[in-house]
């Protein structure tokens, strides 16, 4: 029960001896709940993104039951509610198109219903950032519970990830090194359990960053989806949610500039997905933290790669868990963290850290002996990317991080798919592959097309990597020398729209530059002749998205959702005032 004198948010719905109180209590009783069950208790919403079309989240019914047990044990009352679910593999054209829609769904559900605290139950890539964005805007006490990595596949005696190893297999099939029969056997083995990608793709990266932001319990990120300890953490999260309701510790008190620094440091430490950059920028925009691409570059310059996990390393996230999980990783880079930052536990980062960084140095290194030096991520700018672009150096070919070569331009994904396998394609290993019309508005939704395929005729010559540039994103499980998130995108007239075959493009990831060797006068001449593309969406959510989405360097949020809520207490006064006085 609630301590004497404490006023819960849910009391707005249930405490009054008036018409609104009658209606709300009656609705609960119609659902089979007695007044004893909910009256005067902290009400914890369980925001469940379970769906049968999202294999990453298929086990969430059982996980929600575990949260429910924890809530009840702590004296709270759980109420589960669904939201849209985003599944990376099945959802077309891209889940990123719908991240903002899910964020709106989560925000308005939290704001509209009588929750004193919320547990955000997410797993697949865009689900977690969408939930945090929504919860940050609603600013009701919230805690995240991610679903955990899937069990690793085993193929021909080797543990396999979902994406990283798949991309390698696809190239082997295209080059003739793998038969279609073996490829079919790999397909049968590739998905042995529910849970998100078991390498450090976007889902595992976001789960990791949730710990870095302080929005979940220490150790929650890396526990495998099918491990019983995942359910035990679910109970603990449910219990902590009740305490959050009583303490009224809100996301706005946790998601500070220091928390974002910690999350970025952690992303760099584990070689995390570049997608996390877009998501962190969007979350920061929701809570009014001044975060830009330059901060990622600054922190990258001092942060080494400390975790040996694919795609930047060797192992899978399950090995990270057994080596001590994300708390051990954070302990290893303690000197780089803001240890006084407050977390959802009510304690600081420093107070939550374990005594040691673990004993398996083949998985989690010591700070003085990292797996790779700092600058695992670079932000590049220049006349080809005035707003910036990013490149994951830790997953790229070192010899290509400084490169100059002629452009081979693909106007969109359809053009790419028609021509990249053409034996007559004029391309060499020194060429720079360019894809446009793949950004937030152009695609729309900024799909994960940034890992452009190596043309087959080059694959058969033994070429395994090339410089590739686009306004798209790249799967967190992918690798290669891919310059991503070019801003502004081509569809809004960014310089990428002006590039022609043969233009010389120069990349220097170390200096942070991306240039096309053209004069300003030539770029201006081409810009004057450029015509904007016809919008792909004329109605519905797609039209709203194209009209209001921001560019990648601003997080691809909607312009009207940036900034803190104008009602920081988030009490629905106007709704209730309209009821006073009778039916």
Instruction: Delimit the domains of the chain by residue range.
Output: 42-151+193-352, 378-529
Which CATH number is associated with domain 378-529?
Answer: 3.50.30.80
Name the pLDDT band for 302 (thresholds 50, 70, 90).
Answer: very high
What 3 state SS string does 442-459 have? CCCCCCCCCCCCCCHHHH
CA nearest neighbour of 481 among 551, 404, 554, 410: 404
What is this structure's pTM?
0.94
* Average pLDDT estimate for 493-497: 97
Q: Span 224-248, mean pLDDT?
A: 97
Inform me whether the pLDDT recorded for 571 exceeds 70: no
Is the pLDDT assigned to residue 128 strictly greater than 90?
yes
Cβ distance 480 to 396 under 8 Å?
yes
Q: Looking at the predicted structure, is the pLDDT value of residue 6 above 70?
A: no
Cis ω on the peptide bond leading into residue 223 (within 30° of 0)?
no
Interval 410-415 mean pLDDT: 96
DSSP string, 462-515: T----EEEESS---TT--SSEEEEEES-GGGT-GGGG--TT-EEEEETTTTEEE
Separation between Cα atoms, residue 14 and residue 33, nearest integer Å = 13
- In this structure, are residues 155 and 186 in contact, taking their beta carbons and an 8 Å threshold? yes
Q: Which of 482, 487, 260 is nearest to 389 (CA)?
A: 487
Q: What is the band of 386 on the pLDDT scale with cuts at 50, 70, 90?
A: very high
| pLDDT 10s digits, 150-161 | 888 888 888 877
Mean of per-residue pLDDT scores for the chain: 93
**CA pair distance 441, 491, nearest whole angstrom:** 6
Position 526 pLDDT exceeds 50: yes
pLDDT tens profile 264-289 = 999 999 999 999 999 999 999 999 99
Residue 167 confidence (pLDDT) above 80: no
> Binning pLDDT at 50, 70 and 90, where does residue 582 land?
very low
Q: What is the pLDDT of residue 560?
A: 96
Distance CA 64, CA 46 (A): 7
CATH number for the domain running over 42-151+193-352: 3.40.50.2300
Tokens of 486: 């070019």
Pair of tokens at residue 452: 């452009």
Whether residue 566 has pLDDT greater than 90: no
With H, G, I as helix, E, B as strand and everything else as coil, classify residue 266: helix
- Is the model's pLDDT at 575 over the cut of 60? no
How far is residue 413 CA from its own chain's centroid?
Answer: 23
401: closest CA among 372, 439, 371? 372
The arithmetic mean of pLDDT across residues 405-410, rounded, is 98
Stated as kind and residue range, the H or E segment containing 71 is: helix 60-73
pLDDT in tens, 63-75: 999 999 999 999 9
Q: Is the pLDDT of residue 528 over 50?
A: yes
Determine what percent of the chain is predicted with pLDDT higher than 70.
96
Name the residue among 385, 549, 537, 408 with its Cα closest to residue 471.
Answer: 385
* DSSP code string of 329-376: HHHHTGGGS-TT-B-TTSSBHHHH--SS--S-TTTB--TTS-SB-S-S
How far does CA 186 lie from the centroid of its chain?
27
């Amino acid at each position: 029960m609630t301590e004497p004198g404490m006023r819960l948010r849910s009391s707005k719905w249930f405490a009054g001896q008036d018409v609104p109180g009658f209606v709300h209590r009656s609705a609960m009783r119609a659902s089979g709940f007695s007044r004893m069950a909910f009256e005067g208790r902290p009400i914890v919403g369980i925001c469940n993104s379970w769906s049968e079309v999202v294999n990453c989240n298929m086990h969430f019914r059982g996980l929600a039951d575990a949260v429910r047990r924890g809530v009840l044990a702590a004296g709270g009352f759980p109420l589960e509610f669904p939201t849209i679910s985003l599944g990376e593999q099945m959802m077309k054209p891209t889940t990123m198109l719908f991240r903002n829609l899910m964020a709106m769904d989560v925000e308005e559900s939290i704001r509209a219903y009588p929750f004193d605290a919320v547990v955000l139950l997410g797993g697949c890539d865009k689900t977690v950032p969408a939930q945090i964005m929504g919860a940050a805007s609603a600013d009701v006490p919230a805690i995240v519970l991610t679903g955990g990595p899937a069990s690793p596949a085993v193929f021909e005696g080797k543990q396999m990830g979902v994406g990283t190893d798949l991309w390698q297999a696809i190239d082997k099939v295209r080059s003739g090194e793998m038969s279609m029969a073996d490829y079919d056997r790999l397909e049968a083995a590739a998905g042995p359990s529910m849970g998100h990608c078991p390498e450090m793709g976007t889902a595992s990266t976001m789960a990791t960053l949730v710990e870095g932001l302080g929005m979940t319990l220490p150790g929650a990120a890396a526990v495998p989806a099918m491990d019983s300890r995942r359910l035990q953490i679910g109970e603990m999260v449910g219990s902590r949610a009740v305490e959050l309701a009583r303490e009224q510790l809100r996301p706005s008190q946790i998601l500070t500039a220091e928390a974002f620094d910690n999350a970025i440091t952690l992303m760099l430490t584990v070689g995390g997905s570049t997608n996390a950059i877009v998501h962190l920028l969007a979350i920061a925009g929701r809570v009014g933290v001044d975060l830009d691409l330059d901060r990622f570059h600054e922190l990258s310059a001092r942060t080494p790669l400390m975790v040996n996990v694919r795609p930047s390393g060797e192992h899978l996230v399950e090995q990270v868990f057994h080596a001590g999980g994300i708390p051990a990783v954070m302990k290893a880079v303690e000197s780089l963290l803001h240890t006084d930052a407050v977390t959802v536990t009510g304690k600081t980062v420093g107070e939550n850290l374990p005594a040691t960084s673990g004993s398996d140095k083949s998985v989690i290194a010591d700070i003085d002996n990292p797996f790779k030096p700092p600058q695992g991520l670079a932000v590049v700018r220049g006349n080809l990317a005035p707003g910036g672009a990013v490149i994951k150096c830790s997953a790229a070919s070192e010899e290509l991080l400084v490169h100059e070569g002629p452009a081979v331009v693909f106007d969109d994904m359809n053009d790419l798919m028609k021509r990249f396998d053409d034996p007559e394609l004029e391309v060499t290993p020194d060429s720079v592959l360019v894809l446009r019309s793949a950004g937030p508005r152009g695609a729309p939704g900024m799909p994960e097309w940034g890992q452009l395929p190596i043309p087959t005729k080059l694959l058969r010559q033994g070429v395994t990597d090339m410089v590739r540039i686009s306004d798209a994103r790249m799967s967190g499980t992918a690798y290669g020398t891919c310059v991503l998130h070019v801003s502004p995108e081509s569809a809004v007239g960014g310089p990428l729209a002006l590039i022609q075959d043969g233009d010389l493009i120069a990349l220097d990831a170390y200096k942070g530059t991306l240039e096309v060797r053209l004069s300003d006068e030539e770029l201006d001449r081409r810009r004057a002749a450029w015509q904007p593309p016809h919008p792909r969406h004329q109605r519905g959510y797609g039209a709203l998205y194209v009209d209001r989405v921001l560019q990648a360097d601003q997080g691809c949020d909607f312009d009207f959702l940036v900034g803190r809520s104008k009602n920081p207490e988030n009490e629905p006064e106007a709704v209730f005032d309209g009821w006073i006085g009778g039916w």
